[in-house]
Amino acid sequence: MGDSRPVLVSGVKPTGDLHIGNYFGAMRQFVELTKEGKYKPFIFVADYHALNTMQDAEEMRKRTREVVMAYIAVGLDPKDVVLFKQSDVPAHTELGWIFDTITTMPYLMRAHAFKDAEAKNKEINVGTFNYPMLMAADILLYDAAIVPVGADQKQHIEIARDTAEKFNRVFKTDVFTLPEPHIMPEVAVVPGTDGQKMSKSYGNVIPLFASREELAKAVMSIVTDSSGERPENVYRIHRLFRSEVNLDALYEEHKGNYKGLKEMLIDDLDRYLAPMRTKYEELKGDSSIVDDLLESGKREARAVSEAKMEQVRKAIGVA
């Protein structure tokens, strides 16, 4: 109460093992931006978004807890952050419906994520089509000023802005605040082991909580192109851990020694990730921490979002 800081909102879907692309592209920003204390952060697990592609109850339960543990293991301080599950806060789906009614099909058909999904499978589900409306609700319910995400989510934030404007215009109100995306240019797209964007759906990831052996396996699988001066795909991942000057000198010194450079990358990765891995393993051993966190996050997120829904219901005339 009485907290006048600008709000930060973001979420991650519990759909697979988190990878260093998720960390550098999104989660590290959550930690850095919240550490400064400038924002009031609401960070959640986007389980209802995940339901579009993951329809297995056991897996949903397991992956959801993994994301919560990951948030803490990467350094979010649960004292400073409202951490919750999207499905624990009914206002998200309620507001998502209201947004469906003011949004046109042709507008949503222009979304990249929908076009990509449709190109792969014509039998696309309605939830995938509506995805940006639920995401707009996630963001607008809390009056988010900024939304830290990787570059692939930029259009979704633009849709949330459009939706806020449209709602305010249609219902002649100023209920919703326009959010800004927060995208770090240098890590907007973290490359995978094949040089394309790192993504669990491409099978090219370096997992965030992997053992040293698993890290080594992933690094050794990085595709190297022997025609260039240096192994670009190794270099671009290595760049996440060292300055350009330092790395250029290293790559010059070990020119042509791709195996040696990969081994150095394994060392750097392992050194950087080890403390997070240790914390993650600790949390796995005590399930009550996750339960307690989700319980208090649910209470706070419900209170804030319900207050916003009262304004929304008045604005649309159902209250």
Q: How far apart are the first and last CA of the chain?
A: 25
CA distance 22 to 7: 21
Find which of ligand ADP, ligand TRP, none residue 49 binds, CB within 5 to 8 Å per kind: ligand TRP
> What single string gives the DSSP state of each residue in 245-262?
HHHHHHHHHTTT-HHHHH
What is the smallest separation between the CB atom of 93 and ligand ADP, expressed in angstroms? 20
What is the smallest separation between the CB atom of 254 and ligand TRP, expressed in angstroms? 36
User: Interacting stretch for ligand TRP, rule CB under 6 A, among 5-13, 27-35, 94-102, 228-236?
Assistant: 5-13
Decide: is 305 part of the binding site for ligand TRP (CB under 6 A): no
Cβ–Cβ < 8 Å for 155, 114: no
Find which of ligand ADP, ligand TRP, none residue 189 binds, CB within 5 to 8 Å per kind: ligand ADP
Decide: is 145 part of the binding site for ligand TRP (CB under 6 A): no
Find which of ligand ADP, ligand TRP, none residue 9 binds, CB within 5 to 8 Å per kind: ligand TRP
Find which of ligand TRP, ligand ADP, none residue 73 binds, CB within 5 to 8 Å per kind: none
Decide: is 153 part of the binding site for ligand ADP (CB under 6 A): yes
Pairing of strands 40-45, 144-148: unpaired
H, E, C per residue of 142-174 = CCEEEEECCHHHHHHHHHHHHHHHHHHHHCCCC
Decide: is 52 part of the binding site for ligand ADP (CB under 6 A): no
Size of the site for ligand ADP (CB under 6 A): 19
CA atoms within 13 A on the CB side of 14: 27
